[in-house]
Structure 1
Amino acid sequence: MSRVLEFEGIRNFRHFGEYAACDGAKVRANLFRSGHFHNATEADKSRLADLNISVVADLRRPRERENEPSSWGEGLRILQSDVAGHAEPPHLQFLREGDLSREGVTGFMRSAYQRLPNEKGNQEVFAAGLRELATHGADEGFVVHCAAGKDRTGIFCALALSLADVGKDDIYDDYLMTNTAVDYDTLIPVVQKRLKDMFGRDVKEDVMKVFLGVDEEFLDVAFQEIGSAERYARDVLGLSDDEIAAVRTNLIAG
């Protein structure tokens, strides 16, 4: 079964549950990760309703949410942070002013993965999302997303799966799946035109793939910042040992 769910206006939507954990256990279903939902069509919204999603962890900054607001139905618990205020997101500032060579973009992505685990807004939503996963009903859907569903979302999913004792290979496979889940042949020209219209900048296709995709090295950088998932959850995110244990217990299918 493919982990990727196809939508008309939503990119990179897929399962991040049902991986094998230790001792023959398995992570439960109804766990989803995605890019933003601003372009969701009516057909997409209908399909989302069928997934019985009750909690949405939105890792975007306030300005991103204002520029591309999501349209959700009633009764959902939305987790988000206003810590970053209305400042321009770092990735937009880089696209406007930064070195858009392949080396420059790769360097930006490395620095982003050093920064993301340490940003207070991300930490706030990471903590809230993990606490939800510690108590969330197994028959209810949970979705975490950012703008593209790959960097902030990728770090959150890697943390959650690590706390559930999923093996490193599966954690990295889940992270790297963005590179096959997204139709870059369609997406890259759209983003190239947007950058030209917004900032007057031309970006080569191979450089766009670095910026829009993921690389094992980037997640390595994030984990170098995080250290062990348990230590980060406890000492940085503020979860108690009981909450950390509950995340694992509740993520494992019965």
Structure 2
Amino acid sequence: MSTSNSLLKQGPLVQARYNDNNGITLAWNMEENIEAEAVYHSVLPELIESNSTLLDVQIDPAGAVFTRTVSPGRNYYHVKFTNGSISTINDRMIYTDGVINFRDMGGYLTEDGRTTRWGMLLRSADLHELSEQDLHTATALGIDWICDLRSDFEVASRPSPAIGHAINTNIPFMAEASPEEMQKIGHDLHAGYKAMILNTDKCALILNELLKEEQDTSLFHCAAGKDRTGVVCAVILLTLGVPQNVVIEDYELTNLAVEGLMQRFLSGSNKGYQKYMDQMPEFKGAIPEMMKAAFIQSALEAIEENYGSFDQYLKEGLGISAEQRTALQNKYLV
């Protein structure tokens, strides 16, 4: 009879790092006389060997590198050690046919030693092309609130379908995001990122929404899930106490989705985005290096320049009290 993970000893802490070409690196700190003996893939958060796939991977003393297994929805990797313990790793990428750059912000260590909760803070590109299977996948995530950061023009061009019981709120994050505004930001993303993080009214509104008791699982998205979503998610993670270097690493994960995103934007079938691409000729015919750490660093520099520190930005810029920040951390950290 298979034994579930809940009845087994928890193994060593395993960290996952994502690589190009759909690769993943699992790394652990090995105790003496303990070795990893197998890695399994599963769509279940607990290891049930009869429902899991034993992966053919080379296991080294400190980790394993292999190609991620793509299954619809959530995926998990289970590392089995020689002492009988099991370590389970959530794949933060969520696989769907129609949504690009869909991922979970769980599992990040904070400066006080806690971890962001899995399954509560999600981010993605727009939801317009969700298939029927995708809708089942998204509904199973139990999303309570969808925060759509796109402009009215974008929402009208590519409306989102209803997902389960989720409340869909449109919070346009960059004025009306006209083609002219998109062109300006496209030419100077550093200035654009600074302007976005200093959009204090919208940032404060989003953090206050996250405080609401009825909203446990939230999904943030814009068109590509990279610029507006990147800034908003950086503010959220920093508020929770995730170190700045880790926030930048989360931001840069969009690099793994750039090719798919640009193919969507450059496709003539997406007429709404084609209007934007017509205003940005530098993107035509090539996939640029979109996600540079320097862009999000520009936003963080704007905080330092205008408020001196992130703590002061929260207090003076967003009006978030120490008590509210603690409440957010207690809700979204474990």
TM-score range relative to shorter protein: 0.7 to 0.9
Distance 1:175 1:83 in 2: 18
Alignment-derived partner of residue 157 in structure 1: 233
8 Å contact from structure 1 (residues 54, 77) kept in 2: yes
Report the Cα offset of residue 241 of structure 1. Answer: 3.0
> Residues 11-35 of structure 1, C-alpha deviation per residue, up to 9 Å, x if partnerless?
1000112211123211111121111
RMSD over aligned CA atoms reads 2.9
Correspondence list, 1:1-254, <5 A? 1-30=90-119, 31-73=121-163, 75-81=165-171, 88-90=178-180, 92=182, 94=183, 107-119=187-199, 123-124=201-202, 126-136=203-213, 140-180=216-256, 182=257, 184=259, 186-194=260-268, 198=275, 199=278, 201=281, 203-206=283-286, 208-210=287-289, 213-227=290-304, 228-253=309-334
Q: Percent identity?
A: 26
Is 1:134–1:248's contact at 8 Å kept on the other side of the alignment? no
State the Cα distance separating 1:83 from its structure 2 match: 8.2
In structure 1, stretches of 5+ residues that fail to align are: 99-103
Q: How far 1:111 sits from its partner (Å)? A: 1.9
Larger radius of gyration: 2
Answer 1 or 2: which has greater strand percent: 2
Provide the aligned length of Structure 1 versus Structure 2.
Answer: 234
SS at match of 1:33: strand
Distance in 1 separating the partners of 2:177 and 2:227: 19
Residues 62, 85 of structure 1: 8 Å contact kept: no
Equivalent residue letter for 1:158? A
- Per-residue CA deviation, residues 97-135 of structure 1 (Å, 9 max, x unaligned), is x7xxxxx95x52112112212346xx42x2232123334
User: What is the deviation of 1:39?
Assistant: 1.2
Distance 2:263 2:172 in 1: 32
SS of 2:115's equivalent in the other structure is: coil
Q: Would the alpha carbon gap of residues 219 and 65 (structure 1) be closer, same or farther in structure 2, given more than 3 Å must change?
A: same
SS at match of 2:160: coil
Q: Tell me, what secondary structure is at the counterpart of 2:91?
A: coil
Higher relative helix content:
1
Matched residue type, 2:288: K
SS of the residue corresponding to residue 24 of structure 1 reads coil
Q: CA deviation at 1:2?
A: 2.4
Contact 2:150-2:172 at 8 Å conserved across structures? no
Cα pair distance change 1:37/1:231, threshold 3 Å: same
Taking the aligned partners of 2:177 and 2:230, their CA distance within structure 1 comes to: 23
Any conservation in 2 of the 1:58–1:79 contact (CA below 8 Å)? yes
Cα 1:115–1:77 change in 2 (3 A) is: same
> How many Å separate the matches in 1 of 2:316 and 2:175?
25
Contact 1:135 1:246 in 2 (8 A): no
